[in-house]
Amino acid sequence: MNESVLDKFLRYVKIDTQSSEESETYPSTAKQFDLLRLLEKELKELGVRDVRIDKYGYVMATLPSNLAATDKAYGKVPAVGFVSHVDTSPSASGENVKAQVIQKYQGGDIVLPGDPSIVLRTSENPQLKENIGKTIVTTDGTTLLGADDKAGLAIIMTAVQSLMNDPKIPHGDIKIGFTPDEEVGAGTKYFDLKAFGAKFAYTVDGDVPGELNKETFSADSATITVHGRNIHPGSAKGIMVNSLRVMADIITRMPKDVAPETTEGYEPYIHPHVLKGEEEKTTLNILLRDFETSGLAVLKKRLEAIIAEVRPLHPKARIELQVTETYRNMREGCEKDPRVIDYMFEATKRAGFTPKWVPIRGGTDGSKLTAMGLPCPNIFTGGQNYHSKNEWASVWGMEKAVETVLHLVQIWVEKTRG
């Protein structure tokens, strides 16, 4: 196979792999296996050894070291892994994706043909300017694109293809891992670190070319449940307890200055994102995010204070708050052995960038893998506007990510040689 990263990307985005927050199965949707099995097949066709898929959907493979026994680094280079996820966000449809390839982008706003109300505006997308004269891929405006993280899949698969085609590129053992259900926070739930076999790893799940990530939010999930009482509205006086009205009073008290739409950088947020209910019972799912793990307790207290304020207004309602851990900032784990981030920084420089460390206002599989003991910072992909119909991807960014991966595996060899 001698395909471009674009060829692979366009094939992968056609496969609907949307995960589900409501499912109790693993993976959360069976259709993720469609792409996982395809990746297994393609790795085998490339001649990669030890390709396998388990009952949970994890695809793992190994490219054995190609170093000669006379090489100073032989047997000493640690096994390095690359990880991407196949699922797409539940936030927008991933079915019947119609990718629009715009060659030699000329600049300016882009009206998407499937829904002219969806416009990629240069005022909201400064990276479009960096792609004038280059190829970009957009949605048609009716679905998301799936660059998160099918761009990462295409980048890793293209890098594997390059390594298999050119044995002169020196590398140690390389481990490949493709995961399901990252978008619903379960990408590493059954991930077998021992079976994977890497000492260090990298998720390829970032965005802006040249930007690198060694820290993420620490994250908790909160659920507020309001229990009311329902009765026919014609005879409801003094009896009905409308849980929707109670929840409305809670939502209106959520801090507007601690929200995704009003914060940036290292600022924390409280984000109500799924609301379901009727008179009898209403639930609200909330994301709590802070780069300092201790800050999550502060956000929880703010929710408790809101509930305490609302309870006297609705004394017959029962209000419950449940908070669960989602993931933790990977910064400390990534900095325990500086090589994993230093070599990534150097590889990005060799790809022609002035690298920039940027905190992820979200999480990746790398967050949990790092917490499990596998340091796992994050490499850019060139995708933008994830989880939305405005999503687009830079082909140049994907190509540069492939270069970065290829430089990275060589740097591990060079630095081990000393």
38 shares its domain with 153: yes
pLDDT class of 220 with cuts at 50, 70, 90: very high
What is the span of the domain harbouring residue 320?
218-326
Is 365 annotated as catalytic? no
Q: How many domains does the chain have?
A: 2
151 shares its domain with 36: yes
For 396-407, what is each residue's pLDDT tens digit? 999 999 999 999
Cα–Cα dist 22/181, whole Å: 12
118 shares its domain with 165: yes
For 127-185, what is each residue's pLDDT tens digit? 999 999 999 999 999 999 999 999 999 999 999 999 999 999 999 999 999 999 999 98
Domain ends where: 326, 350, 380? 326
Peptide bond into 149 cis (omega under 30): yes
Give the contacts of 378 (CB within 8 A, at least 6 positions apart). 202, 203, 204, 205, 206, 212, 213, 214, 360, 364, 366
267 shares its domain with 354: no
Assess whether pLDDT exceeds 90 at residue 270: yes
Per-residue tokens: 298: 């502060």
- Read off φ and ψ for residue 43, nearest 5 degrees: -60, -40
106 shares its domain with 156: yes
Catalytic residue among 87, 148, 173, 391: 87
Q: What CATH number is attached to the domain comprising 234?
A: 3.30.70.360
101 shares its domain with 247: no
382 shares its domain with 272: no
317 shares its domain with 338: no
Q: Alpha helix (H) ranges present in 24-173?
A: 32-45, 147-165
373 neighbors 133 (Cβ within 8 angstroms):
no
| pLDDT for res 44 | 97
173 shares its domain with 303: no
Domain ends where: 291, 326, 361? 326
Q: What are the distances in angstroms from CA 389 to CA 26, 143, 248, 282, 345? A: 26, 5, 28, 28, 31
Domain ends where: 305, 326, 347? 326
For 323-369, what is each residue's pLDDT tens digit? 999 889 999 899 999 999 999 999 999 999 999 999 999 888 999 99
352 shares its domain with 413: yes
Q: Which long-range contacts (CB under 8 A, 24 or more apart) does 121-125 make?
A: 125/384, 125/385, 125/392
| pLDDT for res 364 | 83
| pLDDT for res 2 | 87
Q: What CATH number is attached to the domain comprising 190?
A: 3.40.630.10
Is 87 annotated as catalytic? yes
Q: Which residues pair with 203 in a beta bridge?
A: 83, 378
Catalytic residue among 182, 290, 365, 399: 182
Peptide bond into 27 cis (omega under 30): yes
57 shares its domain with 179: yes
13 shares its domain with 121: yes
